[in-house]
Amino acid sequence: MAHDGKHALVTGSSRGIGRGIALKLAEQGVEVAINYRKNESAAKDTLAKVQQRGADGFIVQADVCRPDDITRMLARVKGEFGTLEIFVSNARPDVPEFYQGPMSITVEQWDCAMNSQAKAFLLSVRAAVPLMGDGGRIIAITYAPGGRTGSWQPWVGMGAAKSAMESLCRYFAAALAKRGITVNALSPGWIEDSVLNTLPDAAQDMIRKWHQGGWTPMGRLGTPADIGNAVSLLCSKEAGWITGQTIAVDGGLSLMDAGLPLEIQRG
């Protein structure tokens, strides 16, 4: 298999996109450390699915907002695996913990967003790199539109935090380039079996119809497996010259022009 003998840590892989990443890496022979914060049974379920795919791994509880937890998580990875070839920063707190517009977001909500993305990425990468040989892979899961646009008001904290994480990718990419360690951000479009499924049914329906109706040119939402496949590609030896990039994995969503009605864009 493509990644036989490699070890990965995927934060927030008890469910959603993180689980999809863990399973795709497992299919390619990677042993996976499955991080979760609260949902131990879901993490165990991910591990069982990893094992069904012929790989192995372990679950590790850690809140990525807490620096001490990050240190403990990476120490466990060192103890279990000895080395680490792949680090994926994917965890994102539940929506109510940070979801508030710019005029009303609380300091706690702002800190939750920044700590879980920018600070967690800074500290995790610095703890992961000493376990990596040359040619390691570091991947941050972002949502790039949140950092570029200003229209989705309650996303302000997460948008700013993801932007800071994308910026860190570029700085780490330059810092680690001599060792052949690549650092990239992947930006999914809207994904099934993820936070989407925690939204009210009416909101889910609206979002699906929007994308199926043309705002995602491929006419469907993504899946955790789509993102897992993209991570797996970036982990290949052949992707060793790609670093410091924010790459959309979105079925063409980022190609659309929000200034024009669909009918005109379609011609």
Ligand X SMILES: NC(=O)c1ccc[n+]([C@@H]2O[C@H](COP(=O)([O-])OP(=O)(O)OC[C@H]3O[C@@H](n4cnc5c(N)ncnc54)[C@H](OP(=O)(O)O)[C@@H]3O)[C@@H](O)[C@H]2O)c1
How many CA atoms within 13 Å lie on the side-chain side of 107? 0
Sign of the dihedral through C-alpha 212, 217, 221, 225: positive
Nearest of 61, 74, 67, 54 to residue 13 by alpha carbon: 61
- In the bound state with ligand X, the residue whose beta carbon lies nearer, of 229 and 240, is 229
Kindly tell me the burial class for residue 30, based on how many C-beta atoms sit within 10 Å of its own C-beta (0-12, 13-18, 19 or more).
buried
List of residues contacting ligand X (CB under 6 A): 11-18, 35-39, 42, 62-65, 90-93, 116, 141, 143, 188, 190-191, 194-196
Q: Output the residue with the shortest Cβ distance to ligand X.
A: 16
Minimal distance, residue 186 CB to ligand X, in Å: 8
Token pair recorded at residue 111: 């800190």
> What letter would DSSP give residue 74?
H
User: Contact at 8 Å (CB) between 90 and 9?
Assistant: no
Minimal distance, residue 236 CB to ligand X, in Å: 21
Minimal distance, residue 72 CB to ligand X, in Å: 12
Minimal distance, residue 179 CB to ligand X, in Å: 26
User: Contact at 8 Å (CB) between 181 and 135?
Assistant: yes
- In the bound state with ligand X, the residue whose beta carbon lies nearer, of 30 and 60, is 60
- In the bound state with ligand X, the residue whose beta carbon lies nearer, of 61 and 265, is 61
- In the bound state with ligand X, the residue whose beta carbon lies nearer, of 196 and 239, is 196
Backbone angles phi, psi at 200, to 5 degrees: -55, 145
- In the bound state with ligand X, the residue whose beta carbon lies nearer, of 179 and 209, is 209
Minimal distance, residue 75 CB to ligand X, in Å: 16
